[in-house]
Amino acid sequence: MRARTIWLPAAGVAALIAAAAVTVTGTANAGPATGTKGQTYEFIRALERKDLETVSELTHREATLTLPLSLTGKREDAARFTGKEQVLGYVQGVFTTMGEIDFTGVRVSTTTDGTTSFVQAAGNFTTADGRPYENDYIFRYDWKNGRLVHIEEYGNPVTFCNVIGSPAC
């Protein structure tokens, strides 16, 4: 096997991601994990650009999105969205709440069969009114036929409560 370097294009506030090369090891026919890794980066870049159209294209009609870390500290989901419409509604809400979305230190790993990818990243965001919002994230993305069927978003709920606030905090 030989190593190939693939340069990901810059888009919106994704300058840091675009500045770094992503190395994929494999042959010309690298398999499903390579495609999933590319789709995962595409999804992250779409979030940074606030590109709801691309997010929609990458989201399965039966998708679910779960925020497993509760705002109360109890073992319960903070939120769960079922179906593409609800998932896109949540994403649109994030786009409205945040002025700038910038993920740094992005690391993507995938299962060998390409059905699941994981993202580790620092979120260096600003709110719509200009306040800094810095949170650390882990995402789990489950894929089916090139579309996201399940998303789990793990972020520090204390950071959310301190900056954004919610009656549940």
Q: pLDDT 10s digit of each residue in the chain, 169 long? A: 344 333 333 333 333 333 333 333 333 456 788 899 999 999 999 999 999 999 999 999 999 999 999 988 889 999 999 999 999 999 999 999 999 999 999 999 999 999 999 999 999 999 999 999 999 999 999 999 999 999 999 999 999 989 998 888 8
Domain presence at residue 169? no
What would the two tokens of residue 54 be?
Answer: 């691309």
CA pair distance 36, 34, nearest whole angstrom = 5
Q: Which residues contact 115 (CB under 8 A, 6 or more apart)?
A: 32, 36, 142, 143, 144
Decide if 40 is inside a domain.
yes
Rounded to whole angstroms, the Cα distance separating 47 from 100 reads 10
Domain assignment of residue 30, yes or no: yes
Instruction: Report the domain count for the chain.
Output: 1
168 in any annotated domain: no
Q: Domain for residue 109, yes or no?
A: yes
- Contact (Cβ atoms closer than 8 angstroms) between residue 148 and residue 43: yes
Quote the Cα angle for 54-56-59, to 5°.
Answer: 110
Give the ranges where 50-82 is alpha helix by DSSP (H): 52-57
- 69 domain residue, yes or no: yes
CATH number for position 107: 3.10.450.50
Domain containing 11: what range?
A: 2-163
β pairing state of 147-155 and 59-67: parallel
Q: Which amino acid is at 40?
A: T
